[in-house]
Amino acid sequence: MVKQDKNRLADSPLAESANASHSPDVAVHSYERHPGEEKFSIVIPVLNEIDNLPVFIGELDALIFGKQLREIGEIVFVDDGSTDGTLDFLDRLAADKSKEYSVKVLKRSTKLGSANAELAGCKIAAYDTILKMDSDMQHPIRYIENLVRAWNPDLDLLVASRYLEGGGNDWSPLRGIISRSAQMIARIFIRNSGKLSDPLSGFFVLRKTLVLQLLPVINTKKLILYILATKRDIRVGEIPYVMKDRLGGESKIVDNSMKFVQQYFIEILTYRKLARQIKKASGSGRR
Ligand SMILES: Nc1nc2c(ncn2[C@@H]2O[C@H](COP(=O)(O)OP(=O)(O)OP(=O)(O)O)[C@@H](O)[C@H]2O)c(=O)[nH]1
Ligand SMILES: [Mg+2]
């Protein structure tokens, strides 16, 4: 199921599949794709994820082999100083030439935040179409196929949403309330976030051109909000997915303090300020 801007959907090749009722596990074959025609770079921020990465790669390889998903051309990992063996694992992966895809590892020495890492990864990606996801198995591997199949040339951003029919998450009620509140705040302050049922998703496909001009920001987490704030006429679509709890390792976002609330407000205001600067610099204000 693909939810897309209604006006566009009517004439889009996605219209038929969008109206059909699919379970989220069923691949969406929405238009004729010639194998190898359009490749994707998967961009993944990583920080101490050795408990998850071997499972991630094992499942990804099984998906690519099982579904003949030849569109995955590259994986770009951006690491900010992992100390748990993540870097050794990624070095071995990059040296393994038997894979269907190539692997880039960007090694940085300082923790600059996941959005900063994602932006850096997008900028060095080999392909113009980028699939961004996390490395802790919260974004189940099987949905990569759904995103790849549902992507089409009429979109700038295709988001895997927890809040479409067929989507969901494994969260505690408290975390659910925090997430819903964060969404409401995003809708108030961030342009375009109302176009999506899940404007805080970390699992999406985007066009590289959306992020090329964005300046890096330190200690922010939601690249999607940065994009939604800065790109005026963005064409968006959504598919449902069920988010899982992280498989292993530790969360870098949730701790026992409420500091992340304050950081979230700062993040939103930073994106708004940057969006205004971009608008001013572009003269006409149309982006
Ligand atoms: N390179 C880099 N990656 C990071 C940084 N912070 C988090 N990450 C990665 O970004 C992804 C998301 O971080 P998480 O800690 O899982 O944040 P979250 O998914 O919002 O929170 P949980 O639901 O608690 O897991 C994971 O793949 C992390 O390894 C960072 O500062 N630098
Ligand atoms: Mg996580």
Question: Does any domain span residue 251?
Answer: yes
Q: Which two three-digit tokens encode residue 215?
A: 């300046």
Q: Which of 67-81, 141-155, 271-285 has the least mean pLDDT? A: 271-285
User: For residue 32, what pLDDT band results from cuts at 50, 70 and 90?
Assistant: very low
Confidence of residue 30 (pLDDT cuts 50, 70, 90): very low
- Ligand 1 pocket test, pick from 47, 104, 169 with the greatest ligand atom count within 8 Å of Cβ, gives 47
CA–CA separation, 50 vs 83, rounded Å? 9
Read off the pLDDT band of 56 (50, 70, 90): very high
Number of compact structural domains in the chain: 1
Residue 193, ligand 1, Cβ within 6 A: no
Domain assignment present for residue 13? The answer is yes
229: pLDDT strictly greater than 90? yes
Dist. CA 39–CA 72, nearest whole Å: 6
Domain that holds residue 21: 3-281
- On the question of pLDDT at 36 being above 50, the answer is no
Q: Tell me the two tokens of residue 134.
A: 């996390």
Alpha-helical (H) ranges within the chain are 6-11, 15-19, 53-67, 86-95, 114-123, 143-150, 173-189, 223-230, 259-281
Average pLDDT of the chain?
Answer: 87
- Alpha-carbon radius of gyration of the chain: 18
Question: What is the distance, to the nearest Å, from the Cα of residue 129 to the centroid of all Cα atoms in its chain?
Answer: 12
Is 286 contained in some domain?
Answer: no
Confidence of residue 196 (pLDDT cuts 50, 70, 90): very high
On the question of pLDDT at 14 being above 50, the answer is no
- Domain membership of residue 229 (yes or no) is yes
Q: What is the pLDDT of residue 255?
A: 56
Strands 157-161 vs 72-80: parallel, antiparallel or unpaired: unpaired
Q: Cα 75 from chain centroid?
A: 13
CB of 45 closer than 6 angstroms to any ligand 1 atom: yes
Report d(CA 79, CA 96) in Å as an integer: 19
Longest Cα separation, the chain:
50
pLDDT of residue 284 exceeding 70, the answer is no
Cβ of residue 52 lying under 6 Å from some atom of ligand 1: no
Do the domain assignments include residue 148?
A: yes
CA 134 / ligand 1 centre spacing (Å):
7
Kindly state whether residue 287 falls inside one of the protein's structural domains. Answer: no
* CA 275 to ligand 1 center in whole angstroms: 24
Pick the atom of ligand 1 nearest to 134's CA.
27
Averaged pLDDT for residues 97-123: 97
Q: Is residue 92 part of a domain?
A: yes
Taking 60 as the threshold, does the pLDDT of residue 112 lie above it?
yes
On whether residue 277 sits in a domain, the answer given is yes
Q: What pLDDT is recorded for position 6? A: 37
Tell me the C-alpha distance between 176 and 61, whole Å. Answer: 32
- The CATH number for 201's domain is 3.90.550.10
Q: How is residue 216 annotated by DSSP?
A: P
